Amino acid sequence: MVTKEWPAQAILHDFLSKLAALTGSTYRATAMDVAEGDEHVFVLQNSRAERGSQSINNFLCNVFTVRDGLIHAVHSYPYDAEAQEAFWR
């Protein structure tokens, strides 16, 4: 679910609402740092969530592809990919 590539129009409606539903609204993301280039924005983020008896506290780098001021794609690179996959499985 989390490693899927999400088109920009689906991010707020589909992706974030699924995170809320899967975690009983415990999902929290905090931006730690932001850098930008001509076509990309990089966000270092800390994410926390609980799901049943599991919890996660993981850092990620989200890479946003931006064209004409709009987000066209988002790719997420977790620091601990194994923990991320185990939590969302």
**Residue 2: pLDDT above 50?**
no
pLDDT value for 19: 84
**Residue 73: pLDDT above 60?**
yes
pLDDT greater at residue 6 or residue 19: 19
Q: Which one, of 14, 84, 21, 77, lies nearest residue 54 by Cα? A: 84
Tell me the average pLDDT across 10-16.
65
Spelled out in words, what is the top-level CATH class assigned to the domain 6-88? Answer: alpha beta
Report the distance separating Cα 43 and Cα 19, nearest Å. 18
Q: Report pTM.
A: 0.72
21-54 tens-digit pLDDT: 889 999 998 999 999 999 999 999 999 999 999 9
